[in-house]
Amino acid sequence: MPQRQPPGSLESSAAAEGEGALGRQAVAGRGQVAPGAPSPSPGHRAARRQAPGPASSWFVAAALLALAGCGRPEAPKADAAPLPVRVHVVGAAGAQPQMRATGTVRLRRETPLAFVADGRLVRLEVREGMAVRAGQLIAALDSQPFDSDVAAAEAAVRQAEAELQRQRRLFADGWVARARVDQQEAAAGAARAQRDAARFRQRYVRIVAPADGVVLRRLAEPGQTLAAGTPVLVLGELREGFVLRVPMTDREIAGLGIGQPAVVSFGPGGPPELRGQVVEIAGRADERTGSFRVEVALPGHPDLRSGLIGEARFAPRAPDPGRGPQPLQIPASALFAARADEGFVWQVRPEGSGLVVRAHMVRLGPVSAGGVAVAEGLKPGDRIVLGGVDRLADGMPVVVAATRRPLGTQVTRAPAATGSRP
């Protein structure tokens, strides 16, 4: 690959200074008069007095040389203390960039509980945050109207069945047509259906906990008249565990799969870092936001609460063999002097008894949320400086302060001050 000198290197500065010196000599030579030439006229002498003389030109040239010397980068001293740097280890070939997403902790099954009929709420036994057991009474409506409906429906059934028996006897004696019997059989069946419906409403005049869980929201108060289907509270069922729900774009979920591992971290005072895996990816996007909901199952921990904010870091997914090799990805903060499809990185190399940085040219590919693709110039396992690239110079001694590796790979201890390779 053709090499381009990075800005600020010794070679590029020396070349620029040499070209400037030649130009200054040519400018200074224009103000001198060759020996034996005729003396200028008074008008010419006046013009020459206004123009700077050779002494002034040499003074300007000396000032420019001094300024150029100030901008020249000094070569690293051999006894200079190594500069601490953060190092990024280039990921394995074909690995996708690590993705991050922020979401909210929820119980995987959060069920709104409601009554199936209209009624007046007379009992609500729980508060928000209270733990409940399966089968525990949670809320109840005034049961008197439902008891009355059942009694009336049962009386209607008895009356309809008695009339049906009478019509059958009359038909057997030939006093009524068969159509009258069929009509009464239908009426008796309708009465029985109304009785069953009344009993169903009476059965669900109370709400009991369907499973062990915790009350997340209390949406009603005793004394309220509720319509059928109006939620009274929201119960989070503990048997399904906690999940982190994160919204992601269509491009991001293309790199995810069910069972893919993820590391979830929380803010100060929250639970410790937890490891989970993707258990659900929405089949359609949200109509309002256009994002897809992804659920990461979390292991049980006593500090987990519904509503906590967490950040998920998804491990790189195994490459698809049918798609061919994928380009390497590096963070954008590792690049400098980028131009068109090429740029430079500071590559950490062992030299002598320590480590130094060397400017290394790379061929760049497309830019994405995960970083910048490298088409040529790096290979898996190469170490490059991550951030603070403006503080470095070619050949400067460094020491590794922190190492960033692709998620899911083994992290080794940073090298000691001697600069040995980890």
Give residues with Cβ within 8 angstroms of 352, minimum separation 6.
none
Q: What is the pLDDT of residue 93?
A: 44
Q: Is 421 inside a domain boundary?
A: no
Residue with tokens 């996007």: 285
**Residue type for position 64:** L
Alpha carbons 369 and 98: distance in angstroms, whole number: 9
Q: Is 233 inside a domain boundary?
A: no
Q: What is the pLDDT of residue 413?
A: 34
- Please identify, among 226, 253, 281, the residue that sits at the C-terminal boundary of a domain: 226
The answer to whether residues 251 and 354 belong to one domain is no
Query: Which structural domain, as residue segments, surrounds residue 12?
Result: 1-25+52-73
Query: Read out DSSP for 38-52?
Result: PPPPHHHHHHHHHS-
The answer to whether residues 275 and 359 belong to one domain is no
Task: Provide the sign of the torsion angle of the four alpha carbons 61, 66, 67, 68, taken in this order.
Answer: positive
Q: Is 127 inside a domain boundary?
A: yes
Say if residues 325 and 374 touch (Cβ distance below 8 Å).
no
The answer to whether residues 262 and 289 belong to one domain is yes
| Nearest residue to 233 (alpha-carbon basis) of 204, 201, 207 | 207
The answer to whether residues 190 and 269 belong to one domain is no
What is the total count of domains within the chain?
4
Q: Where residue 289 sits, what CATH number does that domain have?
A: 2.40.30.170
Q: What predicted TM-score, i.e. pTM, was given to this entire model? A: 0.52
The answer to whether residues 258 and 271 belong to one domain is yes
Alpha carbons 392 and 347: distance in angstroms, whole number: 11
Q: Is 260 inside a domain boundary?
A: yes
Q: What is the pLDDT of residue 58?
A: 39
**Residue type for position 255:** G
Q: Is 41 inside a domain boundary?
A: no
The answer to whether residues 126 and 275 belong to one domain is no
Residue with tokens 């009524």: 176
Q: Is 44 inside a domain boundary?
A: no
Say if residues 96 and 368 touch (Cβ distance below 8 Å).
no
| Nearest residue to 259 (alpha-carbon basis) of 315, 330, 332, 342 | 315
Q: Where residue 330 sits, what CATH number does that domain have?
A: 2.40.420.20
Residue with tokens 């001697």: 418
pLDDT tens across the length of the chain (422 residues):
555 666 655 455 444 444 444 344 444 444 444 444 444 444 444 444 444 444 444 344 444 434 444 444 455 555 668 899 999 888 744 445 568 899 999 999 999 999 999 999 999 989 999 999 999 999 999 999 999 999 999 999 999 999 999 999 999 999 999 999 999 999 999 999 999 999 999 999 999 999 999 999 999 999 999 999 999 999 999 988 999 999 998 878 877 889 999 999 998 888 999 999 999 999 999 999 899 999 999 998 989 988 999 999 987 665 555 555 667 888 888 899 888 789 999 999 999 889 999 999 999 988 766 678 888 899 888 999 988 888 899 999 999 986 665 544 433 333 333 333 33
Strand partners, 71: none
Q: Is 36 inside a domain boundary?
A: no
Give residues with Cβ within 8 angstroms of 71, minimum separation 6.
13
* Token representation of residue 116: 């199936």
Alpha carbons 124 and 223: distance in angstroms, whole number: 10
- Please identify, among 303, 322, 341, the residue that sits at the C-terminal boundary of a domain: 322
The answer to whether residues 271 and 353 belong to one domain is no
Alpha carbons 316 and 256: distance in angstroms, whole number: 9
Q: What is the pLDDT of residue 404?
A: 60
The answer to whether residues 103 and 252 belong to one domain is yes
Q: Where are the alpha helices (DSSP H) in 174-286?
A: 178-203, 250-253
Alpha carbons 85 and 245: distance in angstroms, whole number: 35
Please count the residues of the chain: 422
The answer to whether residues 222 and 120 belong to one domain is yes
Alpha carbons 88 and 83: distance in angstroms, whole number: 16
Q: Rg of the chain over CA atoms, in angstroms?
A: 41
Q: Is 305 inside a domain boundary?
A: yes
Q: Where residue 119 sits, what CATH number does that domain have?
A: 1.10.287.470
User: Please, what is the angle between helix 144-173 and helix 178-203, to 10°?
Assistant: 160
Task: Provide the sign of the torsion angle of the four alpha carbons 258, 263, 268, 271, taken in this order.
Answer: positive
The answer to whether residues 283 and 185 belong to one domain is no
The answer to whether residues 284 and 190 belong to one domain is no
Strand partners, 347: 358, 384
The answer to whether residues 125 and 218 belong to one domain is yes
Say if residues 304 and 350 touch (Cβ distance below 8 Å).
no
Say if residues 104 and 307 touch (Cβ distance below 8 Å).
yes
Question: What's the first-to-final CA gap in the chain, in angstroms?
Answer: 29
